[in-house]
Amino acid sequence: MIPKLHREFYEVDMTTGWETPAGYPAGIKQKILSGSLDEKNKRGSRSRLIRIEPGTYTTEAFCHDYWEEVFLFSGDLRVGNDKNGKGGEVFRAPTYAVRPPGAWHGPVTTDQGCFGFEIHYYDEAERPK
């Protein structure tokens, strides 16, 4: 697990370091800015940028056991589309979501493409002792 480090303002290279998260379609890319999430031991946190290319979509709703905060800086995100990427509720930037562990969300698609910032974390106070 990579801890979050204290770093003052530094330039972020927006051209490198993008990768498709495991299980996602190729049109969805992330760039980890800080930290890591240990889903096996349910600890840690990560901050990432997320970019979805126009017309990309997922086909299943998903759920995870950590908190997720999402801020959409640009574009549109449609939530609740069908298996062909049609339908769903459209959200346009600027918009924000916060989801507790266990909250089902998605699938998602975008018509124009979108760019956002996400924080994922386990809340130590909620962790079983």
Confidence category of residue 127, pLDDT binned at 50, 70, 90: low
Can you tell me the mean pLDDT for 5-28? 95
Question: What's the predicted TM-score (pTM) here?
Answer: 0.91
Across the chain, mean pLDDT equals 94
* CATH superfamily to which 28-126 belongs: Jelly Rolls (2.60.120.10)
In which residue are the tokens 């997320």 written? Answer: 50
Confidence category of residue 126, pLDDT binned at 50, 70, 90: low
- Which positions ≥6 away from 123 have C-beta within 8 Å? 67
Q: According to the model, what pLDDT value does residue 4 have?
A: 86
Is residue 128 pLDDT above 80, yes or no?
A: no
Is residue 129 pLDDT above 60, yes or no?
A: no
Q: Which two tokens stand for residue 80?
A: 């609740």
Residue length of the chain: 129
Confidence category of residue 1, pLDDT binned at 50, 70, 90: confident
- Which positions ≥6 away from 127 have C-beta within 8 Å? 42, 43
